[in-house]
């Protein structure tokens, strides 16, 4: 790969994180810089906060690098078509162009779950895995990413599949476990229904499970009975940064 380093920025509902990434190893070259997502998550405020974060990265001596930004929304041709944990004002905006104007740089702009999935394919649990890898993040909802032979199939939104008459994430996300005060065993029964359904629809070669709860993977993954191997993600907190940076260097 011609470019050895790139900058990744991960915009979330509570925080905006960024760092310079070594594209050979997937390690952070700088410390991870984080600023709070402005209350309300409105476009002008997030754009300004992201610009401030990028300035802090530049102050560490890293400029003129490829820049990737991932965002909690369906992203199609640079437009944000949804909004998760940020203002609904993002829906329908030419967000990629707006970020490029604010950051004064061309960027690669991608959905946050897709960036995390690509990070696991390049540097993590799905490295060197052929065929179809499906990453799911279990948190407030269920985020998803499909990677086929190293290529991201964008905006899969598998958390919104209907299972047993319900939006899957309303029953099987980690937030549902907390809300309904489920035991690991009870939650695993819901996860079993969900992953069995996804497995039937897509016949994947590997499931990767991310989100904060994946650090407790030994509590629930062994309870699942699937034909497909299912493993915890490696890069939980840094996955968006790594994936956004790596994709920016490819384009």
Residues whose CB falls within 8 Å of the CB of residue 219, separated by 6 or more in sequence, listed in order: 184
| pLDDT of the residue at 122 | 95
Mean pLDDT by 10 residues, the chain (251 residues): 82 94 94 95 98 91 87 97 95 98 96 96 95 95 95 96 96 96 98 98 98 94 98 93 95 72
| pLDDT of the residue at 48 | 97
Structure tokens at 20: 């310079």
Fold agreement between 5-114+238-250 and 129-232: yes
- Cα dihedral sign for 243, 125, 26, 138? positive
Nearest to 231 by CA among 199, 209, 205: 209
Domain 5-114+238-250, CATH class in plain words: alpha beta
| pLDDT of the residue at 237 | 85
| DSSP type of residue 28 | B
Global pTM value? 0.93
| pLDDT of the residue at 1 | 42
Q: For residues 113 and 75, is the Cβ–Cβ distance under 8 A? A: no
Q: Give 129-232's CATH code, choosing from 3.10.50.40, 3.40.30.10, 3.30.420.40, 3.40.930.10.
A: 3.30.420.40
Q: Locate the domains of the chain by residue range.
A: 5-114+238-250, 129-232
Spatial strand order in the sheet of 15-22: 33-36, 15-22, 5-11, 67-71, 108-111
Residues whose CB falls within 8 Å of the CB of residue 217, separated by 6 or more in sequence, listed in order: 209, 232
Secondary structure E strands in the chain? 5-11, 15-22, 33-36, 67-71, 75-76, 79-80, 108-111, 132-138, 142-148, 151-153, 162-163, 166-167, 206-210, 230-232
């Amino acid at each position: 790969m011609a470019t050895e380093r790139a900058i990744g920025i991960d915009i979330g509902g509570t925080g905006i994180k960024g760092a310079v990434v070594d594209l050979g190893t997937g390690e952070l070259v700088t410390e991870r810089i984080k600023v709070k997502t402005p209350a309300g998550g409105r476009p002008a405020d997030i754009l300004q906060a992201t610009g401030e974060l990028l300035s802090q990265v530049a102050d560490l001596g890293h400029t003129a690098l490829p820049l990737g930004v991932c965002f909690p929304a369906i992203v199609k041709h640079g437009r944000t078509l949804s909004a998760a944990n940020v203002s609904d004002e993002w829906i329908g905006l030419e967000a990629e162009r707006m970020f490029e104007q604010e950051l004064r740089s061309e960027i690669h702009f991608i959905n946050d779950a897709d960036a995390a999935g690509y990070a696991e394919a390049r540097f993590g649990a799905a490295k060197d895995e052929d065929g179809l890898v499906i990453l799911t993040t279990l948190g407030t909802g269920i985020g998803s990413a499909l990677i086929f032979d190293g290529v991201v199939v964008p905006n899969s939104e598998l958390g919104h599949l209907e299972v047993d008459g319900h939006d899957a994430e309303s029953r099987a996300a980690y937030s549902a476990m907390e809300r309904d005060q489920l035991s690991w065993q009870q939650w695993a029964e819901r996860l079993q229904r969900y992953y069995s359904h996804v497995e039937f629809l897509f016949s994947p070669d590997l499931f990767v499970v991310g989100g904060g709860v994946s650090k407790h993977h030994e509590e629930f993954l062994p309870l699942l009975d699937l034909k497909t191997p299912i493993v915890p993600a490696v890069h939980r907190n840094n996955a968006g940064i790594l994936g956004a940076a790596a994709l920016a260097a490819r384009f």
